[in-house]
Amino acid sequence: MSALSRFTKRIVWGLFILCSFQTIAADNLLKINTDRAKFNYQMLCQGCHTPDGTGGKSVPKIKDFIGYFLQKEIAREYLVKVPGSANSSLNDAQLAEVLNWMIIEFGGESVPKNMQYFTTNEVATLREQPLFEVVEYRKMLIKQLTLSNRTVDETSDQK
């Protein structure tokens, strides 16, 4: 076998392996079906968070605020571990999808430019350890976010 033939064979195998990895990576990306995500939000979330994300009487708003929770890993995890998410009837892929949709739909300027989408695997792992005491935990997170970002204050998540 000539050197050119061996080189060509290596190039072809290299391209095949590269394409295989890209296909696997693409399969792991969550595609958002906006109609389904909106429907799931309407059926399972908006009763408390309201249709426009401004929040009900004692329910925190998500509009123009939810993105701040992506700034720290512990706050990001909170979005999955709260009882409404962790105990939802949605499967892991659907929950990741609706969370990503909520962030895009309601996050506004609070969403970091380098936003990392929730994945099915991440949601599956985090749901295994749901939160039981949400109010005090949220206050602690807001305090941490306030210290790291001056645009967040303790009342900005309230109506």
pLDDT in tens, 23-33: 344 434 568 99
| Tally of CB atoms within 10 A around 77 | 17
d(CA 48, CA 146) in angstroms, rounded, equals 24
- How confident is the model at residue 28, as a pLDDT? 45
**Amino acid at the residue 34:** T
Low-confidence ranges of the chain (pLDDT < 70): 1-5, 7-30, 149-159
d(CA 149, CA 159) in angstroms, rounded, equals 20
Is 108 buried (19+), middle (13-18) or exposed (0-12) by CB count in 10 A? middle
Q: For residues 72 and 114, is the Cβ–Cβ distance under 8 A?
A: no
- How confident is the model at residue 24, as a pLDDT? 40
- How confident is the model at residue 56, as a pLDDT? 83
- How confident is the model at residue 12, as a pLDDT? 59
